[in-house]
Structure 1
């Protein structure tokens, strides 16, 4: 449907709105996460700077995961030397996700004291991997980006330049809104991609014209991806104007935001994708994992009460097993 400025501000959360702007040859998606991301971050009780970074990672993962055209899994994972040495966000197509972060307490205290709490500063140096897994019948695809102190937005741009070679721009926002007497976490994001019918329009302006005046910047009209196309530069510039509060405001619908950005060009929105937080763990999965451990490792895990206990790091659900239950399954050939 077409977007107009008469849409009600119902503040619908936990959904992704795919859209297209035919006049600019761009397609994209807008995500608003409310109760889903609040449940995840509230459950873990991370310090505020860590919650903000994990919220950004979750919004980015949902933006990318909802583009899958099949049932499978999209995973974003970081490993680095910063105060957040690892993050994992799993998106299980078509509609659910989970997220967890590991913290280096000493480095986090130092970073907060120095005011170095941006996503790039907290992650530090390492790598970011994005993995598409369609199941055992197909080969997994993985793209890796080096982390060198850049933001998650910048890392996403690098990923698309290197792995997808599709001009892409992303804006992410995370924050809290006080509702019902307590601050509740919210996260949002918008992604736009340049997909013209003519491949020639994707060519980067990297050839010197030969007769340009000395000192003239031949890439003056090109965007950071080197694409000197007026339509893409307009779309990218418009998305760059999006502010955090526009991505987080529970009274501002995604459709209205798209109208603000593209009303002169005419944006079309498509059927929304509703998303939810949900963990893939189960008693059966944990039991299978335990049976894959070496006997001495399982023995070392037995607690004082004689039980084998496992806590899911994503949802904090606690599973307890009698050691005989694990061993019986092994002897039965399970």
Structure 2
């Protein structure tokens, strides 16, 4: 693999890069988020620790969502607990559109200090990852304990336990006066060299996977976040000694919230009239608030 030429528009934010290393039976994804993070996070006045966690979750959602082959498919990642300071964190990806939301107890959060651990925030929570594939009418969901020092480690556990795919994930987030930046790398081993075949030989000690994981694990947070370093250059730095690395530019990413008056009117019309009557305010209007974008929608079904 030769060093990539840096072209105008190659380095940037809010896009994924897809690549494969055929000789190692491996595939990878790189993502770097910038303006889209600021747009999503600005919907609520999140404290710093919650903002950081949600930004990481959005990076991971973009990485996992880029694995979808169904153009209409949706990837949803949800971290939830009953007793945690953050009782719900949910993000989803569909067709390049990202959205996310976190619900938390501010009073309890203030008691934890500036850098709470994942366990301090969620307690004994769980992580659910769901792939919805409308074209084949299939739905896959895996649930794993929310363990580890970060959400990336919990996602690695999901792939190993639910899909039996050795996976390495690295993520990084930085906040400064200019805004929020997030970056991530995902690597997976696909034994037999083809996607979709039975993964009977998937194992963490496979020599090909050990090599890929060692190389990928050397990526630094600064590299994932550096806007002057293209995502192609990250792949080249990690795997330039390989005979072949196939690179494909992925989907551009944007903030996407599917809340519209028409959407909510369609949902509310399915409720019995007696229940809709209870939802109406004194003006006869049903007000629906969208947690993702923090907007209220007044729905007049008449």
The residue number in structure 1 matching 2:31 is 31
The residue number in structure 2 matching 1:75 is 76
Matches within 5 A, 1:212-227: 227=204
The residue number in structure 1 matching 2:121 is 122
2:226, 2:52 → 1: CA distance? Answer: 16
The Cα shift of 1:105 comes to 1.4
The Cα shift of 1:148 comes to 4.0
Aligned residues: CA RMSD: 2.6
Structure 2 stretches of 5 or more lacking a match? none
The residue number in structure 2 matching 1:195 is 190
The Cα shift of 1:246 comes to 1.4
Deviates more, 1:269-278 or 1:115-124: 115-124
Matches within 5 A, 1:42-191: 42-70=42-70, 71-80=72-81, 81-92=83-94, 94-112=95-113, 115-135=114-134, 138-148=137-147, 150-179=149-178, 184-191=179-186
1:292, 1:57 → 2: CA distance? Answer: 33
User: Rg: which structure is higher?
Assistant: 1
Deviations 1:9-52 (A, max 9, x none): 85311111001123332111001111111110122221111111
Deviations 1:199-246 (A, max 9, x none): 999747xxxxxxxxxxxxxxxxxxxxx532332112112222222221
CA contact (8 A) 1:160 1:168 kept: yes
Deviations 1:42-74 (A, max 9, x none): 222211111111111111111111211112211
The residue number in structure 1 matching 2:17 is 17
* TM-score, reference length from structure 1: 0.80
CA contact (8 A) 2:148 2:154 kept: no
* TM-score, reference length from structure 2: 0.87
Structure 1 stretches of 5 or more lacking a match? 205-225, 329-334
The Cα shift of 1:120 comes to 4.2
CA contact (8 A) 2:117 2:149 kept: no
The residue number in structure 1 matching 2:209 is 232
1:200, 1:303 → 2: CA distance? Answer: 55
2:133, 2:260 → 1: CA distance? Answer: 20
2:164, 2:180 → 1: CA distance? Answer: 33
Number of residue-to-residue matches in the alignment? 295
Secondary structure of 2:102's partner? strand
2:67, 2:198 → 1: CA distance? Answer: 25
